[in-house]
């Protein structure tokens, strides 16, 4: 590999990490409240509300059923509206965030659902309001599971970020596509793939470790 390629790959790693980081943060900014709402409004839960649960559930399911590649294309006008461009690293953050929100929401809902109903009953019997129960009982109890889910979500976003290369996004995915696929440079292809695998493994094992450490 030439020095130029090595430098490109180095820059690509940073771009991939930046895309993954910002997309994950934004996805949780919206996905966490949505997941909490999905959990709290579902049947038998503390703020049971059929219409709200149905509408949010529908949106989340539609979002999750769209293949990410299709979503990327569909969102081009919206991305251009938000960032002023539809190509590049910054632009990729928009579809990545939107694609990850429903996944995050479902993951959060599933983590919160693991909390024993008895804990909630105890909180209610103490005179806690529904919001208090969620913030001070349900979320703290679900924290280890939320962190594990977080690691899975970040790894998923990282995988998606590579796909963004198809429509002109930056990062390792774009490099693998341009040099590895269009130019038949197998060594570049394998190098980027190896780096992606290592990144996913590092994220996942870090998530596991933190979750184990936090769990009492």
**What is the binding site for other proteins (CB under 8 A)?**
116, 118-119, 121-129, 132, 136-137, 140-141, 143-144, 214-216
Residue 168 burial class via C-beta count within 10 angstroms: exposed 0-12, middle 13-18, buried 19 and up: middle
Choose between 10 and 50: whose C-beta lies nearer to other proteins: 50
Closest distance between other proteins and the C-beta of residue 173, in Å?
38
Query: How far apart, in Å, are the Cα atoms of 78 and each of 9, 86, 107, 181?
Result: 29, 9, 26, 28
User: Is residue 161 within a helix (H) or strand (E), and if so which, with residue range?
Assistant: helix 139-163
Of 94, 87, 97, nearest to 169 by C-alpha is 87
Choose between 63 and 144: whose C-beta lies nearer to other proteins: 144
For residue 48, the SS3 value is: coil
Closest distance between other proteins and the C-beta of residue 209, in Å?
17
Choose between 2 and 125: whose C-beta lies nearer to other proteins: 125
Closest distance between other proteins and the C-beta of residue 138, in Å?
10
Choose between 51 and 127: whose C-beta lies nearer to other proteins: 127
User: Is residue 146 within a helix (H) or strand (E), and if so which, with residue range?
Assistant: helix 139-163
Closest distance between other proteins and the C-beta of residue 202, in Å?
26
Choose between 126 and 201: whose C-beta lies nearer to other proteins: 126
Closest distance between other proteins and the C-beta of residue 125, in Å?
4
Query: How far apart, in Å, are the Cα atoms of 40 and each of 26, 36, 51, 90, 196?
Result: 22, 6, 13, 34, 36
């Amino acid at each position: 590999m030439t020095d130029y390629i090595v430098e490109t790959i180095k820059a690509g790693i940073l771009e991939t990490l930046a895309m993954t980081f910002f997309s994950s943060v934004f996805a949780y900014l919206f996905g966490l409240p949505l997941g909490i709402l999905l959990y709290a409004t579902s049947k038998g839960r503390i703020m049971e509300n059929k219409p709200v649960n149905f509408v949010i559930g529908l949106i989340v399911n539609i979002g999750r059923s769209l293949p990410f590649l299709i979503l990327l294309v569909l969102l081009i006008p919206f991305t251009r509206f938000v960032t002023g461009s539809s190509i590049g690293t910054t632009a990729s953050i928009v579809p990545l965030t939107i694609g990850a929100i429903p996944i995050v929401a479902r993951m959060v809902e599933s983590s919160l659902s693991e909390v024993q109903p008895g804990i909630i009953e105890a909180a209610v019997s103490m005179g806690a309001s529904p919001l208090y129960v969620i913030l001070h009982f349900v979320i703290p109890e679900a924290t280890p599971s939320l962190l594990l889910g977080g690691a899975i979500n970040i790894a998923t976003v990282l995988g998606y970020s590579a796909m963004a290369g198809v429509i002109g996004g930056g990062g390792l995915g774009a490099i693998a596509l341009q040099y590895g696929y269009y130019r038949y440079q197998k060594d570049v292809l394998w190098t980027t793939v190896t780096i992606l695998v290592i990144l996913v493994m590092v994220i996942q094992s870090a998530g596991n470790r933190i979750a184990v450490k936090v769990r009492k």
